[in-house]
């Protein structure tokens, strides 16, 4: 249009700032060579999917391993999808996993950094300045079509058997409105959206490089997409292209459902005179189903929600560690060789990420987490699980608080040694794991295993109840149990028992099992010596008596 400048003035009379003004206001960042600027750009729906967290982790590591900047931008242009408090929920989710943005929205209503505002709802004027420039250059125009008219265009295209439907080319009827017609419509108070005048052509390819997926070829964009809605608010495409440029993003790390938008974004960048950032499209996290696999689903899989991990009490370290194994398959080898290093020392490499989607496996997460927790001090286990319990398991928190020292000592059984036990995968395992240590939660169960019979159990318990001494050292304690064996027809030697089983009622293992079952209600526990000591004299004798009574009645 010849009078494009006049049209721009008509559409945006209040916008005096120019793109140059913003280019100057948000200058290129002075960062060392190779430093990458990445972002996480959630829409505030309040739900954080594990896949989003994973992508966010990749984005964060991409920035952090290069000494760059990671920022959070809130994409809240769609007011209908907006949920109160959602930003806070999402940021808490990130923070639980140790992702603290350098810049951007850092808490509900709080921002940090020189490239803001970082909430799209507060950037309306900025978008309008760039939209105005596009109009001036003839790359955008107002469209007055109503929803009915758009439907009608679509029906016509379907009838004609068009490969491409939508608002483009000859179907884009407002493309050719004259300035006079536009003025008249505006005077009549008709609402308008701002559309891109797409220079794309059907059949022409848009070729681009994705750092994970490689070279991608797609149809270039031909659609006159909406840039500004009738309330002047930008659409996702327009806002994110302007923001990624002005916030000086170097690498766009996001879910691969956005690959289809790249031709639009690349075209917009070109028309706006921006350098297109590098693309890093992360494949979704998959889950095995039968022979095949499917996406981890918000509807079907509780573990798809990031809140699941904090509610279950997985330490952030475990989940982060697990996410790194999903991100780079060489992480595990690196971890074996670098047992005590922080994750940030790992040479994370985008190019080693799965093109088709990493497979989620909760059993593997549990194994990793058991390992992570086994290396924690009892003090740390106590602190973290208390924090979890205060929120999710008041009963456990109360037990802890009754006697913190004893709780710490219980958590220290078989810990802080060379071969710590690996029983706890998440804090919600703890209540059951230590339940027998407290009168409130102990549930007797007198089922025996191995060679132990109720007769043997009664004989063992009678003798042990008389002999037990809580002042014993571990060696003395074990000697005492061994000494008890011949008195009840057992042998202290497992080897001897195996050689002539008919000569004995059992061996030292069976004798210990009887004592273990009486004291804990279980056949498998951590170190019985420590358990006995921490149960204390009174509980020990009470439980031995109760068990003895039980077996005597059973005989």
The nearest distance, CB 252 to ligand GLU, in angstroms, is 6
Give the SS3 label for residue 54.
helix
When the beta carbons of 106 and 119 are compared against ligand GLU, the nearer one is 119
When the beta carbons of 120 and 369 are compared against ligand GLU, the nearer one is 120
Asked if residue 514 lies in contact with residue 452, where contact means CB atoms within 8 angstroms, the answer is: yes
The nearest distance, CB 254 to ligand GLU, in angstroms, is 3
The nearest distance, CB 35 to ligand GLU, in angstroms, is 20
When the beta carbons of 264 and 286 are compared against ligand GLU, the nearer one is 264
When the beta carbons of 237 and 516 are compared against ligand GLU, the nearer one is 237
Q: CA–CA separation, 149 vs 172, rounded Å?
A: 11
The nearest distance, CB 139 to ligand GLU, in angstroms, is 21
The nearest distance, CB 333 to ligand GLU, in angstroms, is 31
Q: What is the enclosing helix (H) or strand (E) of 218?
A: strand 214-219
Q: CA–CA separation, 323 vs 413, rounded Å?
A: 29
Of 448, 450, 415, which is closest to residue 434 (Cα–Cα)? 415
Q: What is the enclosing helix (H) or strand (E) of 141?
A: strand 140-143
First to last CA, the chain: 102
Asked if residue 7 lies in contact with residue 182, where contact means CB atoms within 8 angstroms, the answer is: yes
When the beta carbons of 26 and 258 are compared against ligand GLU, the nearer one is 258
Is omega for the bond preceding 117 within 30 degrees of 0, making it cis?
Answer: yes
When the beta carbons of 254 and 370 are compared against ligand GLU, the nearer one is 254
Contact positions vs ligand GLU (CB under 6 A): 41-43, 75, 240, 254, 258
With the C-alpha atoms ordered 306, 308, 310, 313, is the resulting torsion angle positive or negative? negative
With the C-alpha atoms ordered 387, 393, 394, 397, is the resulting torsion angle positive or negative? negative
The nearest distance, CB 280 to ligand GLU, in angstroms, is 10
The nearest distance, CB 74 to ligand GLU, in angstroms, is 9
When the beta carbons of 15 and 282 are compared against ligand GLU, the nearer one is 282
Q: Report strand pairing: 110-112 vs 103-107.
A: antiparallel
Give the SS3 label for residue 534.
helix
Q: CA–CA separation, 485 vs 480, rounded Å?
A: 9
């Amino acid at each position: 249009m010849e009078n494009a400048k006049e049209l721009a003035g008509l559409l945006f009379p209040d916008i005096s700032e120019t793109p140059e003004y913003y280019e100057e206001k948000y200058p290129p960042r002075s960062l060392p060579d190779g430093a990458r600027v990445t972002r996480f750009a959630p829409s505030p729906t309040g739900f954080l999917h594990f896949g989003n967290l994973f992508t966010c982790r990749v984005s964060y590591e991409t920035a952090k391993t290069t000494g760059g900047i990671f920022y959070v931008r809130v994409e809240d242009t769609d007011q209908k999808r907006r949920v109160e408090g959602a930003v806070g929920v999402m940021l808490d989710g990130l923070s639980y996993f140790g992702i603290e943005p350098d810049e951007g929205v850092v808490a509900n209503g709080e921002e940090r950094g020189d490239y803001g505002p970082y909430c799209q709802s507060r950037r309306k004027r900025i978008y309008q300045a760039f939209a105005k420039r596009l109009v001036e250059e003839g790359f955008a125009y107002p469209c007055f079509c109503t929803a009915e008219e758009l439907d009608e265009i679509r029906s016509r295209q379907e009838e004609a058997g068009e490969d491409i439907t939508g608002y483009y080319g000859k179907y884009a009827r407002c493309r050719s409105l004259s300035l006079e017609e536009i003025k008249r419509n505006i005077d009549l108070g008709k609402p308008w959206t701002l559309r891109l005048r797409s220079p794309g052509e059907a059949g022409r390819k848009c070729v681009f490089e994705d750092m994970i997926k490689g070279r991608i070829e797609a149809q270039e964009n031909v659609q006159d997409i909406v840039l500004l809605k009738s309330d002047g608010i930008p659409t996702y495409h327009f806002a994110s292209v302007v923001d990624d440029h002005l916030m000086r993003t170097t690498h766009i790390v996001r879910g691969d459902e956005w690959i289809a938008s790249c031709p639009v974004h690349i075209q917009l960048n070109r028309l706006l005179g921006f350098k297109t950032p590098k693309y890093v499209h992360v494949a979704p996290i998959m889950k095995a189903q039968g022979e095949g696999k499917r996406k981890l689903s918000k509807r079907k899989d509780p573990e798809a929600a990031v809140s699941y991990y904090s509610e279950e009490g997985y330490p952030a370290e475990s989940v982060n560690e697990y996410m790194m194994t999903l991100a780079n398959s060489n992480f595990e080898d690196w971890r074996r060789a670098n047992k005590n290093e922080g994750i940030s020392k790992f040479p994370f490499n985008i190019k080693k990420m799965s093109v088709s989607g990493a497979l989620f496996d909760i059993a593997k997460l549990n194994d990793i987490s058991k390992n992570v927790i086994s290396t924690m001090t009892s003090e740390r286990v106590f602190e973290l699980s208390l924090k979890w319990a205060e929120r999710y398991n008041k009963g456990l928190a109360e037990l802890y608080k009754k006697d913190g020292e004893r709780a710490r000592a219980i958590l220290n059984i078989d810990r802080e040694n060379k071969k710590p036990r690996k029983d706890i995968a998440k804090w919600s395992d703890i209540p059951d794991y230590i339940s027998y240590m407290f009168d409130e939660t102990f549930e007797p169960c007198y089922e025996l295993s191995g060679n132990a019979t109720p007769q043997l159990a009664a004989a063992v318990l009678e003798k042990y109840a008389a002999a037990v001494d809580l002042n014993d050292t571990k060696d003395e304690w074990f000697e005492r149990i061994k000494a008890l064996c011949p008195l009840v027809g057992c042998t202290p030697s497992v080897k001897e028992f195996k050689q002539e089983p008919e000569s004995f009622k059992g061996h030292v293992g069976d004798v210990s099992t009887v004592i273990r079952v009486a004291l804990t209600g279980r056949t498998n526990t951590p170190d019985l010596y420590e358990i006995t000591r921490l149960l204390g004299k009174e509980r020990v004798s009470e439980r031995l008596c109760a068990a003895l009574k039980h077996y005597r009645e059973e005989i």
